Amino acid sequence: MKSNLPLRTIDANINRFKEGIRVVEDILRYEFNSTLAKELKNLRHIKLPDYEEIISKRDSLNDILKPSTKSEQKRNSIKDLIISNLKRAQESARVLEEAYKLIDINTSEKFKNARYKLYNIEKQILELIQNI
């Protein structure tokens, strides 16, 4: 791959995407016994081209925004936890969609589709948990 590609951006957002989904997936699986967990699990398994090269550009020790903000350190409910992690995954999907336009349009489209699936799943989850 070319050296001027946003590989650190891709790496960070792959992690955010998968981590955000995993938090919600586990809550749906263990707290609600919801089959929506399986849909989220499937989204976490998007195949990525050149993943080892992407990881080779990782520099998490020197990430200037690594420290958490006060708002990131507090959640008031399971609902807040779910919403914040869904938003994290949706935003990351958008970044990945754009970044992969420079590398692989098929992967870009996979993340675009994943983002729209997350929007739909979010609506279903909020209907499921509305009374908590």
- Beta carbons of 4 and 102 less than 8 angstroms apart: no
Element at 91 (helix H, strand E):
helix 78-99
| Interatomic CA distance for residues 41 and 51, integer angstroms | 19
Most confident among 17-31, 62-76, 118-132 (mean pLDDT)? 17-31
> Between residues 61 and 106, which one has the greater pLDDT?
106
Least reliable range by pLDDT among 3-7, 13-17, 22-26, 84-88:
3-7
Residue range 27-86, pLDDT digits in tens: 999 999 999 999 999 999 998 888 899 999 888 888 887 666 666 667 789 999 999 999
pLDDT at 89 (0 to 100): 98
pLDDT of residue 6: 94
Cα end-to-end distance, the chain, whole Å: 48
CB-neighbour burial class of residue 121 (10 A; exposed 0-12, middle 13-18, buried 19+): buried
State the pTM of this model: 0.89
- pLDDT band at residue 1 using 50, 70 and 90 as cut-offs: low
| Residue entry with tokens 């609506």 | 123
d(CA 123, CA 42): 18
